[in-house]
């Protein structure tokens, strides 16, 4: 029988977790990560935005299955490029990937298919927004239409903040720029990540990300400082999420005739027992993946095959008991200009039940050095949330590099809105 090989595209902690999970079914030698990083075994430095170079590498290595980690290749049409070839690429087509790559397209899709979301207004010039900002007293969210690596969303509370956000947009993109303004819904935010084959959607556990740099959700937005799962979601609320968000989304995917075989991420705000969809992503979240995959008992490759075959109906994902927590260690200066090249100590001394997923590291002569803003994800598992967190923090303390920083309150949110919901 032919050896099954897969390539994971991307270079962060999410991709390390994907490689780790897939290697349990396929063997690490059959799981390639492109370009990967210093800590992901079987990493190969291939430019994943050059689809022809990528195709040559895949053919040379006899790899016929690809899983795409980040949004960029999906929004650039990687699925369309490989359509009809012998190489199967899991993910949405470029048209479907607009659910993430265009915030305006996504909001219009939600409106068209009755997905619960906050009211919004669309603009194509900076000066059009002043009246609305004054009317809402600056209490709103401004979103640049395109992909901006997490830097295109401004959550504002005052007129000053909103006008500052517009000034930032103008500085970067000029006055003529596509953006939207939506009502701000303060509440508890959760991430629900699922697989779809275009006919069915199968959920993973609900998780929670911690996007801001500092404790108490203060400071600038980052790529994510930690996550935990499962978040307990009352059954009444889960039913509303299914009815008001997931089902209408699937209906929309079908009505639009999207080719969508991959991962769909629902960023959901819960307020007064109601779920509101903040955003779609068309890929796994980072750092959510670093807790979701250790929690997943079912084989990931088994699921990806079912997605590809349009047979997701037969899969009922199973999960390991207990809780999973991820603490992200970042470099001094992150998310602004950060330090790199610092030697990492202590990786070899970690207890075997603590998982480490590398995000921004490089290896030189058998030693690891920092090479990114987010450096390492330290993942703990426990019977209770506090046991899982204790494990993750034990690991976070044992690892050292100059300028190491991490949040000490991962998994500590009160989630009052979630708890109130029946
Ligand atoms: N954790 C949020 C994201 O991946 O976009």
Residue 335 belongs to domain with CATH number: 3.90.600.10
As a whole number of angstroms, the distance between CA 345 and CA 340 comes to 14
Query: How do strand 323-330 and strand 201-209 relate by DSSP bridges?
Result: unpaired
Best residue for ligand 1 mutational test, from 15, 106, 224, 326 (most atoms within 8 Å of Cβ): 224
Q: Which atom of ligand 1 is nearest to the CA of 284?
A: 4
Q: Is 285 in the pocket of ligand 1 (CB under 6 A)?
A: yes
Average pLDDT in the 52-80 region? 98
Overall number of domains in the chain: 4
Let me know if residue 143 belongs to a domain.
yes
Let me know if residue 396 belongs to a domain.
yes
- Output the CA 406–ligand 1 centroid distance in Å: 18
| pLDDT value at 308 more than 80 | yes
How far is residue 9 from each of residues 18, 33, 179, 259, 322, measured CA to CA in Å? Answer: 10, 6, 29, 20, 30
The CATH number assigned to the domain holding 72 equals: 3.40.50.20
Let me know if residue 109 belongs to a domain.
no
Let me know if residue 101 belongs to a domain.
no
Q: Is 281 in the pocket of ligand 1 (CB under 6 A)?
A: yes
Q: Are residues 308 and 199 in the same domain?
A: yes
CB atoms within 10 A of CB 297: 10
- Output the CA 286–ligand 1 centroid distance in Å: 5
Q: Are residues 151 and 260 in the same domain?
A: no
Domain boundary among 319, 342, 366: 319
The neighbouring-strand residues paired with 343 are: 369
Let me know if residue 375 belongs to a domain.
yes
Residue nearest to atom 2 of ligand 1 (CA): 285
Q: Are residues 205 and 273 in the same domain?
A: yes
The whole-number pLDDT of residue 419 equals: 83
CB atoms within 10 A of CB 245: 22
CB 309 within 8 A of CB 207: no
Q: Are residues 328 and 245 in the same domain?
A: no
pLDDT digits (tens, 9 = 90+) for 150-196: 788 999 999 999 999 999 999 999 999 999 999 999 999 999 999 99
Q: Are residues 283 and 301 in the same domain?
A: yes
pLDDT digits (tens, 9 = 90+) for 247-292: 999 999 999 999 999 999 999 999 999 999 999 999 999 999 999 9
Q: Are residues 283 and 354 in the same domain?
A: no
How far is residue 357 from each of residues 39, 120, 138, 263, 338, measured CA to CA in Å? Answer: 8, 38, 39, 20, 20
Q: Are residues 331 and 315 in the same domain?
A: no
Domain boundary among 268, 298, 319: 319
Best residue for ligand 1 mutational test, from 209, 279, 335 (most atoms within 8 Å of Cβ): 209
Q: Are residues 264 and 354 in the same domain?
A: no
Q: Which atom of ligand 1 is nearest to the CA of 285?
A: 4
Domain boundary among 273, 302, 319: 319
pLDDT digits (tens, 9 = 90+) for 30-62: 999 999 999 999 999 999 999 999 999 999 999
As a whole number of angstroms, the distance between CA 290 and CA 16 comes to 8
pLDDT digits (tens, 9 = 90+) for 363-390: 999 999 999 999 999 999 999 999 999 9
* Structural domain for 363, as ranges: 321-412
Let me know if residue 65 belongs to a domain.
yes
Q: Is 288 in the pocket of ligand 1 (CB under 6 A)?
A: yes
The neighbouring-strand residues paired with 356 are: 378
Q: Are residues 196 and 300 in the same domain?
A: yes
As a whole number of angstroms, the distance between CA 37 and CA 52 comes to 22
Length of the chain: 422
Question: Mean pLDDT, the chain, as a whole number?
Answer: 96
The CATH number assigned to the domain holding 313 equals: 3.30.470.20
Residue nearest to atom 4 of ligand 1 (CA): 285
The CATH number assigned to the domain holding 123 equals: 3.30.1490.20
């Amino acid at each position: 029988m032919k050896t099954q090989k897969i390539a994971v595209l991307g270079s962060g902690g999410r991709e390390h977790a994907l490689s780790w999970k897939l290697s349990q079914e396929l063997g690490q030698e059959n799981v390639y990560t492109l370009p990967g990083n210093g800590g992901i075994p079987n990493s190969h430095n291939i430019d994943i935005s050059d689809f022809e170079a990528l195709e040559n590498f895949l053919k040379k290595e006899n790899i016929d299955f690809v899983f795409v980690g980040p949004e960029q290749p999906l929004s650039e049409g990687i699925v369309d490029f490989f359509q009809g070839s012998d190489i199967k690429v899991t993910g949405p087509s470029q048209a479907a990937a607009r659910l993430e790559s265009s915030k305006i397209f996504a909001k219009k899709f939600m409106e068209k298919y009755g997905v619960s979301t906050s009211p919004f207004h669309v603009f194509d010039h900076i000066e059009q927004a002043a009246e609305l900002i004054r009317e809402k007293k600056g209490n709103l969210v401004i979103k640049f239409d395109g992909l901006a690596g997490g830097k295109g969303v401004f959550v504002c509370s005052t007129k000053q903040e909103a006008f500052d956000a517009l000034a930032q947009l103008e500085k970067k993109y000029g006055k003529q720029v596509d953006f939207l303004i939506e009502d701000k819904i303060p509440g508890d935010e959760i991430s629900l990540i699922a697989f779809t084959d275009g006919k069915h959607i199968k959920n993973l556990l609900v998780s929670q990300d911690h996007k801001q740099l500092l404790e108490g959700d203060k400071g600038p937005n980052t790529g994510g400082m930690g996550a935990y799962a499962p978040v307990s979601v009352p059954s009444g609320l889960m039913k509303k999420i299914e009815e008001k968000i997931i089902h209408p989304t699937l209906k929309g995917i079908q009505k639009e005739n999207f080719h969508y075989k991959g991962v769909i991420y629902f960023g959901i705000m819960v307020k007064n027992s109601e779920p509101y969809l903040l955003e779609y992503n068309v890929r796994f979240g980072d750092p959510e993946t670093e807790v979701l995959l250790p929690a997943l008992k079912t084989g990931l490759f088994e699921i990806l095959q079912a997605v590809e075959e349009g047979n997701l109906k037969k899969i009922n994902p199973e999960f390991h008991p207990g809780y999973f927590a991820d603490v992200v260690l970042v470099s001094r200066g992150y998310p602004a200009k950060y330090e790199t090249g610092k030697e990492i100590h202590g990786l070899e001394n970690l207890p075997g039940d603590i998982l480490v997923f590398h995000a921004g590291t490089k290896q030189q002569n058998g030693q690891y050095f920092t090479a990114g803003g987010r450096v390492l994800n330290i993942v703990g598992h426990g019977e209770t949330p506090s046991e899982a967190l204790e494990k993750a923090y034990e690991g976070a303390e044992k690892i050292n590099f100059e300028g190491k920083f991490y949040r000490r309150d991962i998994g500590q949110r009160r989630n009052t809105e979630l708890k109130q919901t029946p």
